[in-house]
Amino acid sequence: VLEHFTALFPSMTERDARQTLGQYLFAGADAAKKISSLSGGERARLVLAELLVSRPNFLVLDEPTNHMDIPAKEALEAAFRAYTGTILFVSHDRYLIRQVADSILIFEDGAAMYYPFSYEHYLERKRDLGQGETLAAQVSARDQALIAGLKSVPKAERHRLREIPAEEAYRDWRLSLAGKDLEQARESLEEVLTRLEEMERAWTECAAFWDGEPRPEEEEKERVRLEAEAQERWDEWQERCLAWLDEYEGEILQA
C-alpha cells in the first residue's frame, strides 16, 4: 500500500505518505499490505485516499461507506469534512448523511427534491409539517388557485410564456419570483459580511492592533452593529430559502 501510494504521489515524503495513509487506517503493518490482499472496504478506503489527496474540485461517490466498519466510516467522515471541494454522494447511510451533507437531494414518492439545508433540518421540518399534511392541503387547493393565479401574471410574462402549458407557465413565474427574493436576500447578506470583513482587515493592518490596544469606542460599536445586522440578514436568507422551498414543493413536486 505504501509503495503504491508513494508511486502515485512522488512529491510526497514517506513520512507524509504514512501520515496520510494512517488517516485512512493504513497504519503500521497495514501500510505494508499487498494491494491484492486488501478487502473490499480497504480498497475503497485506499481509492478515496488517492482521490482526496489529488484534490479534485468535484467528487461523485456511490455508497462510499459500503463494506466499511465503524472506525473506517469515522475516518472517512473526518476526511470528507476536511475536504474543501464539492462532493455529490449517494448513500443509505443516514449517519454519514447527518455528519457530512450540508444540502440534500431527496427521492421519494416518485419525485426528486433539492433541500438546501442539513438532513437534521429536513427531518425537523418534516415533523413540523405533520408528515406532509400541509403539502397535501396545498395540492388540494392548487387546481382551484391556478386560474386566479394565471390572471396575476403580468401581460409581458404571459406573452413570453404563451407557448408553455398553463400550469407550467404559472409554475415557472411563481418560482422565478421566489428565486428573486432568495437572490436579493443572499446579496444583502454578502454585502454586510463584506463590510464586516473589510473592517476586520483594516483593524488587523492597524498599528494599534499589533500594540495590543483596544478598538476605538465608535469603531467597536460599528463592529457590534454589523455583526447584529449580519445575523439578521442570515436569518432572512434562511427564511427566503424556506419560502422558495415551499414554492418548489407546491409547484414542482405536485405537478
Q: Both 63 and 9 in a single domain? A: yes
Residue 177: predicted pLDDT: 60
Q: Both 94 and 133 in a single domain? A: no
Q: Which residue has the higher pLDDT, 190 or 250?
A: 190
C-beta of residue 48 within 8 angstroms of C-beta of residue 75: no
Q: Which residue range is the domain that position 190 belongs to?
A: 128-253
What is the amino acid identity at position 194? T
DSSP code for 91: -
User: Could you tell me if residue 119 is inside a domain?
Assistant: no
Q: Which residue has the higher pLDDT, 16 or 149?
A: 16
Candidates 198, 201, 195, 176; CA nearest to 251 is 176
Q: How far apart are the first and last CA of the chain?
A: 52
Q: Both 167 and 237 in a single domain? A: yes
C-beta of residue 226 within 8 angstroms of C-beta of residue 195: yes
Cell numbers for 90: 449517494
Residue 157: predicted pLDDT: 45
CA 178 vs CA 153, 174, 223: distances in Å: 14, 6, 32
Q: Both 89 and 151 in a single domain? A: no
User: Could you tell me if residue 168 is inside a domain?
Assistant: yes
Cα–Cα–Cα angle for 8, 9, 10, rounded to 5 degrees: 105
Q: Both 157 and 50 in a single domain? A: no
Taking all residues of the chain, what is their mean pLDDT, rounded to a whole number? 73
Cell numbers for 170: 404559472
Q: Both 97 and 132 in a single domain? A: no
Alpha helices (H) in the chain, listed in sequence order: 2-8, 14-23, 40-53, 70-82, 94-100, 119-128, 133-151, 155-160, 166-204, 207-210, 217-248
φ/ψ of residue 163, rounded to 5: -90, 0
pLDDT tens per residue across span 87-118: 899 998 888 898 888 888 887 777 777 777 77
Residue 128: predicted pLDDT: 66
What is the amino acid identity at position 237? W
The Cα–Cα gap between 66 and 9 comes to 26
User: Could you tell me if residue 70 is inside a domain?
Assistant: yes
Look-up: residue for cell 498599528?
207
pLDDT tens per residue across span 165-214: 444 544 555 556 666 776 777 788 888 888 888 888 887 777 665 566 77
